[in-house]
Amino acid sequence: MHAPHPKRILLVAPAAQGAFLRGVARFARSADWHLVTNVLHTGTFPRGWKGDGIIALLAYQPELASFIAGSGIPSVTVGLTDEYIPSARVEPDNVAIGRLAANHLLELAHRNFAWAPFINDRHNRERLFGFEAVLRGHLRSCEILPPLHRRIGPYWHDDWTNRRAGLVHRLKGLPRPTAVFAANDCVAAEVADACREAGLSVPDDIAILGAGNDPLECESAHVPLSSIDLNMDALACRAAELLAAMIEGKDHRGESIRVAPRGVVTRGSTGAGGSANPRIAHALACIAENYPDPQFSVASVASAVGLSRRQLERDFRQATGCTLRDIIERSRMNEASRLLKDHPRTKVSTIAELVGIAGAGNFFRTFRRHFGVTPTAYRSSHEESAGGNTRAHDTRATDFPTSVADRPAKQRDIA
């Protein structure tokens, strides 16, 4: 008896990051798929190609949408843009991305905010909606900067010289400091470069947070860019799982799945925070550095900053709207939530120790107060949202850090 012929899957992802490609590759290996990657090399579509399915990461390319729509083959698109294809779709949870950005910047004690869109489309508007919703809850608003690009139908209308001059002018007019949330890392890099042209310091005058965590853009900027990790690996896995179900005959046409972001990866562009009080900024930096220490407390922060606990608490609440204990606890819970998602084989008691909480009971009570569920239920829900097979796709689960010192530096999930 001959072994069944492997399914032939066309991968159309000319703008894909490595995390996305690795996610697809892992699923393809487990499902015995043959990935056809010609498009990654040629940049053109194989006219007349007949296979079993298509996974496409959509960029702003109308011809790509036309090719997939006309193929007549089961297809799943991973949407980072508004290019519409009547097929199953997996996309980032853009509202959650906006909320995450606002919470992160508020936690850094920023009081002035701006939004920098890539283009005025649904994805950008959803991110702004989530961003503004959280800011309104803190009685804050944000300036709206001009989009990086304009498009009418398939045609781009860009005037680089005038657009850059307008961006520089708007940045100069912002109060200092201002925290800018950029729709993606491309925009974040442009804002950083415009700040340099305007004579503005990043992050002291303008703090910048992007989205995408693209190493090319984040690490090449003159100030490394903080960014939201969109969880491209999970986007890829969900798309592959959805396509596998469609190949088996299940009808998922028109279905849309949203994937929550992984967290914020902090780099130099957001600095230690936006407080005009350097001792508040020092306190925030001290918390970010030391919260995994189980002996770390409010008194530890006050001692490091050189103020009485009462004075620091008063200044801190006035600057951030939170208490020092709130920020320490939130930092621990945000890291715990990330560890629970990223390392499904690790004991909850070990995670409690790594984030500086002594006693499993104390950890369970604190976690439930923050997230409304137990750590075990939280982990299970994220395994299900990732397709119910997190262990099969998470290569990091077997090499979990054994000490606090080994944890990923400055990467946090903001609930």
In a domain, 244, yes or no: yes
Compute the distance between CA of residue 130 and CA of residue 80 in angstroms, rounded to an integer.
Answer: 16
- Looking at the structure, do residues 74 and 158 belong to the same domain, yes or no? no
In a domain, 17, yes or no: yes
In this prediction, what percent of the chain has a pLDDT beyond 70? 86
Burial degree of 75 (CB within 10 A; 0-12, 13-18, 19+):
buried
pLDDT at 296: 93
- Looking at the structure, do residues 113 and 15 belong to the same domain, yes or no? no
* Prior bond of 6 cis (ω within 30°): no
pLDDT at 66: 74
pLDDT at 342: 79
- Residue 258's CB: how many other CB atoms inside 10 A? 17
**Domain with 290 in it:** 278-383+400-412
In the three-class reduction of DSSP (H, G, I as helix; E, B as strand; rest coil), residue 345 is classed as: coil
pLDDT at 26: 93
pLDDT at 414: 26
Range among 120-129, 153-162, 246-255 with highest mean pLDDT value? 120-129
- Looking at the structure, do residues 256 and 214 belong to the same domain, yes or no? no
Burial degree of 297 (CB within 10 A; 0-12, 13-18, 19+):
middle
Residue 279 Cα distances to 118, 303, 327, 332, 338, angstroms: 35, 11, 15, 21, 29
Which token pair is 240?
Answer: 């592959």
- Looking at the structure, do residues 251 and 224 belong to the same domain, yes or no? no
Q: What is the pLDDT of residues 309-359, one digit of tens each?
A: 888 888 887 776 778 888 898 889 888 888 888 788 899 999 999 999 988
> Residues 389-409: what's their mean pLDDT?
33
DSSP for residue 285: H
- Looking at the structure, do residues 313 and 256 belong to the same domain, yes or no? no
Compute the distance between CA of residue 236 and CA of residue 19 in angstroms, rounded to an integer.
Answer: 8
Q: What is the pLDDT of residues 216-238, one digit of tens each?
A: 899 999 899 999 999 999 999 99
Residue 306 is part of a domain; what is its CATH number? 1.10.10.60
pLDDT top residue among 410 and 181: 181
Q: What is the pLDDT of residues 139-169, one digit of tens each?
A: 889 999 999 988 776 667 778 888 899 999 9
> Residues 203-213: what's their mean pLDDT?
94
In a domain, 341, yes or no: yes
403 has pLDDT over 60: no
191 has pLDDT over 80: yes
Nearest to 356 by CA among 378, 372, 377, 333: 333
Phi then psi for residue 81, to 5 deg, are: -140, -175
- Residue 43's CB: how many other CB atoms inside 10 A? 8
Q: What is the pLDDT of residues 72-81, one digit of tens each?
A: 889 998 987 7
Which token pair is 143?
Answer: 């300036």
> Residues 19-39: what's their mean pLDDT?
92
Per the prediction, the chain carries an average pLDDT of 83
> Residues 367-396: what's their mean pLDDT?
65
Evaluate whether 12 touches 55 at the Cβ level (below 8 Å). yes
pLDDT at 272: 62
Total domains present in the chain: 3
Helix ranges restricted to H, 9-159? 18-31, 38-42, 62-69, 94-107, 122-137
Evaluate whether 408 touches 259 at the Cβ level (below 8 Å). no
Least confident of 18-32, 179-193, 267-281: 267-281
Query: Band of the pLDDT at 255, cuts 50, 70, 90?
Result: confident
Compute the distance between CA of residue 304 and CA of residue 297 in angstroms, rounded to an integer.
Answer: 11
pLDDT at 262: 87
- Residue 168's CB: how many other CB atoms inside 10 A? 18
Nearby residues of 410 by Cβ (< 8 Å), 6 or more positions away = 265, 266, 267, 288
pLDDT at 157: 72
Compute the distance between CA of residue 29 and CA of residue 32 in angstroms, rounded to an integer.
Answer: 5
412 has pLDDT over 80: no
> Residues 85-89: what's their mean pLDDT?
77
Q: What is the pLDDT of residues 32-45, one digit of tens each?
A: 999 999 888 887 77
Compute the distance between CA of residue 188 and CA of residue 266 in angstroms, rounded to an integer.
Answer: 13
- Looking at the structure, do residues 101 and 152 belong to the same domain, yes or no? yes
- Looking at the structure, do residues 171 and 116 belong to the same domain, yes or no? yes
pLDDT at 50: 84
Query: Band of the pLDDT at 275, cuts 50, 70, 90?
Result: low
In a domain, 272, yes or no: no
- Looking at the structure, do residues 72 and 172 belong to the same domain, yes or no? no
> Residues 242-254: what's their mean pLDDT?
85
Residue 52 is part of a domain; what is its CATH number? 3.40.50.2300
> Residues 116-133: what's their mean pLDDT?
93
Least confident of 17-21, 299-303, 401-405: 401-405
- Looking at the structure, do residues 239 and 223 belong to the same domain, yes or no? no
Which token pair is 283?
Answer: 């306190």
In this prediction, what percent of the chain has a pLDDT beyond 90? 41
